[in-house]
Chain A
Amino acid sequence: MSARLGDAQPGEGTTNARLGDPVWRATAVTGLVLLVALLLALGAHDRGPRVAAVALAVGTLPAVALVLAPRAVRRLRGDEGRSLLLALPVAALALALLIAAGLDGRRDVLLLAVTALGAAAGVVLIGSELRQRTASAGRRAARTPWQRLTTVERVRSLPWQAGAGALLVGWSALVGIGIVGPRLSGSGIAWTVLLIVLIGLGALVLVLVPLLVGAAARGDRDRLAQAREDERLRVGAHLHDSVLQTLALVQRQASDPAAVARLARGQERALRAWMAGEAELDAATLAGALHATVEEVEDQEEVEVEATVLGDRPLDEPGRALVAAAREALRNAARHAPGSAVVVFAELSPHGAAVWVRDEGDGFDLAQVPAERRGVRDAIVGRMAGVGGEAAIDSSPGEGTEVALRLGDAIERSAGA
């Protein structure tokens, strides 16, 4: 329910969510501090470069410590480090210049450091905007109901981050040119040409960045629409092959209630598995193989099995033995407890597996099992022992029967319990 509401009203909620987010608050505060420090530094440079350098350092350090460093660590851990990798050399240059300014006290070096820092921040901003825009559309498409239920939707309508980034880069370029230009030797014309080229490039960046961002967003929308259409076709094809087919069969066999019930049950099971995303897994995993086995026994023995499988693991040799033992146990339950429901519960993990098959039948006294049933029991126990597993049969007259099959760490856990 909250998911649907969340989708409908992104506007106000995101502002509040942002103000409540400590990371966002820290970023805003350090940004303000940096801005004030920059103003101070620019105003104070007449009083001596050292004062300005101190003011700058005061502003810069929290920005680096609180915002850039944590972000860098987080991004570099994921695969999203590109914008930062771009900005890091510029930031390193800025730091070097800052140190140089502190050492030799010339205000031009200081200003260069400021502009380099500004450019670095601009690159980070542009990169982060592009990343968010390209990632969010893909992520929305991949959402499961649970994700929609538990994650806060973040929607930005205007590329303000990229705009601010472009402004910062442009400003840095202009200031940098202003500082470096007069020092360059050579004729005034060469310098003017260089200036024009640089300003032209800056303007190009200003124009192109919003366009690129817009194009990326549009591309995402198109891909999303395409994905929806593909999904609709896929669902349609599946329903056609399965549900419609079964409905046709049901209409033709309407006179045979048993057949209709069997068809309906089989289709129901298949549809559930498909909705749970299990159809693709097929019998390649232990969970898929268990479901397939339950289905097979249900059809052969005309018994109803309620099977719940938690977790999964690849289907290996021990897993196949487990499935075979489970099939044996299910058949046994179906034959010796006719009419009673059979419950299968499985807990699977990469390190182990435990499967319980339980019926509500008459049960029996294990000590007085006739020889032919002992054979079945040996088939179950022997199969599991053959792959290093374990099988336990728990039954007493009038109390039903439960067969427990275990592999891997499930054996130790049951021994410890």
Chain B
Amino acid sequence: MTADDGQRPARAERPLVAIVDDHHLFRAGVRAELAEACEVVGEAATPAEAIAMIGAAAPQVVLLDVHLPDGGGLAVLEAFRGVAGAPAFLALSVSDAAEDVVPMVRAGARGYVTKTIETPALLDAIARVRDGEPYFSPRLAAFVLQAFSAPEEEADDELDQLTPREREVLHHLARGYPYKRIAQRLGISPRTVESHVGSVLRKLQLSSRHELSHWAATRGLVGREE
């Protein structure tokens, strides 16, 4: 949705992509969709296969399904956490529930898209994460905004708070604005918008769990326990 109208300097080479999904038909479908613009270098159906395949095929971007047998997409993300030269992971799922979206991004995925995404938007997302940027769909931005909407008294850790600017950028993303328009509206450069989103992603991955339980509680997901 946050398509950037191809304004960014596109890298000439086609991105090397791997697809990890336990549905054979879905892999075939995505492979066909991506054939125009990407090089699909590998496929896998389970976390174990995926880890071996990624090591062998060295893709730049891995499209990673959330719901896999034997540990889910999280298992793959855990395996590559902190590994130098690891590919960029773009989580891909039919689910857009917060409890699926947020753990994947916290575990290291650079973005999250649902499987109903249109091909151009998917290509944009792949190009973005390949270039080391995060890709936040409006819904993901909204969830993240909510994850950080803690009351003031919890200002103990800088990582648990967003700066007003980051909040503003995220708010615009949630409302469906592309980076270019956010930059215009806030009077900053698109690069700065990107760096704000990047630092939000970093905070999301590093902040204490407390904030996110608070987030779950405000969503009414957690009942009152003593």
Contact = CB atoms under 8 A, between A and B. Distances in A.
A24 to B, nearest CB: 15
Contacts of B143: 308
B176 A146 contact: no
Contact of A341 (B78, B176, B223): B176
B97 A275 contact: yes
A1 B77 CA distance: 12
A42 interface: no
B174 A308 contact: yes
Interface stretch (A49-57, A88-96, A137-145): A137-145
B71 interface: yes
Contacts of A272: 96-97
Interface residues of B, number: 33
A310 B171 CA distance: 12
B13 interface: no
B222 A308 contact: no
Contact of A150 (B74, B146, B177, B216): B216
A276 B181 CA distance: 32
B191 interface: no
Interface in A114-162: 139, 142, 144-147, 149-151
B142 to A, nearest CB: 4
B128 interface: no
B78 A308 contact: no
B99 A146 contact: yes
A1 B75 contact: yes
Interface string A335-374: 0000001110100000000001010100000000000000
Interface of A: 1, 74, 78, 80, 139, 142, 144-147, 149-151, 268, 272, 275-276, 306, 308, 310-311, 341-343, 345, 356, 358, 360, 399-400, 402
24 contacts: A1-B74, A78-B226, A144-B221, A144-B222, A146-B99, A146-B222, A147-B216, A147-B221, A149-B99, A306-B1, A306-B176, A308-B142, A311-B218, A341-B176, A342-B176, A343-B1, A343-B175, A345-B142, A345-B174, A345-B175, A358-B176, A358-B177, A399-B181, A402-B175
Interface of B: 1, 71-72, 74-75, 78, 96-97, 99, 103, 116, 137-139, 142-143, 145-146, 174-177, 181, 209, 212-213, 216, 218, 221-223, 225-226
